[in-house]
Amino acid sequence: MILQKKNTTKVIHRLDYDENHDDVLLVALKSNMPDYKMAYLINETIDLRLQKPLRKDIVSENTPVIEVDKFHYFKYKDIDNHLVWWLIENKYIQSMDGSNKDKTLFGNETDMFDATEYLVPEWKSIDFFLLVENTDVFFDEEELLSKLESINKISTQFIVDRTTLSTKSQQNLIF
């Protein structure tokens, strides 16, 4: 807050707002773990409670049902710190006959090939994204990266500059 004197009798209070600060942090994670194990290890390491949301909690008027259901994800609302955490898989594999190979124990052996879709096609080599909403200037990104680095099964983790993503990828990250 900056105090400015306009007249000698009045003091005007102005709030400075940093327009360059983005309130969403996107961390890319590379690992060959299944989504439930990744969520468990992140919960243990960062002291979160990521869990699969109920369908009624995730579908809103603005979110297409098809896009929401494709990618596995976990969510945690941190009420104390006013943060919303999302762990989202980047890859979706669908058999050409319409069945989802990820949801079955064994794929159909008669399938000729599988179609792979990516939440963020620019980062096909990334397996998961950790999205943190409502971050502020006091959120310690380096501490988060350090804690994620301590998980042995994560081979790579880094912060993604969302401005470098395509418009479609940015829209895909809006839940």
> Per-residue pLDDT tens for 89-138?
998 887 665 555 555 555 555 546 678 888 898 999 999 999 999 998 88
By C-alpha distance, which of 130, 136, 135 is closest to 158? 130
One DSSP character per residue, the chain reads -EEEESSSS-EEEE----TT--SEEEEEEE--S-HHHHHHHHHHHHT---BPPPHHHH--TTS-HHHHHHS-EEEEEETTTTEEEEEEESEEEEETTS-BGGGSSS--TT---EEEEESSGGGTT--EEEEEES--TT--HHHHHHHHHT-TT--EEEE--GGGS-HHHHHHT--
Residue 67 resides in a domain: yes
Q: Is residue 75 in a domain?
A: yes
Q: Considering its fold, how many domains does the chain have in total?
A: 1
Instruction: Answer whether residue 103 is part of any domain.
Output: yes
Q: Evaluate whether residue 73 is within a structural domain.
A: yes
Evaluate whether residue 1 is within a structural domain: no
The predicted pLDDT at position 1 comes to 47
Residue 4 lies in a domain: no
Q: pTM for the full model?
A: 0.71
> What residues make up the domain containing 59?
20-172
Whether 148 maps to a domain, the answer reads yes
For residue 34, is it within any domain? yes
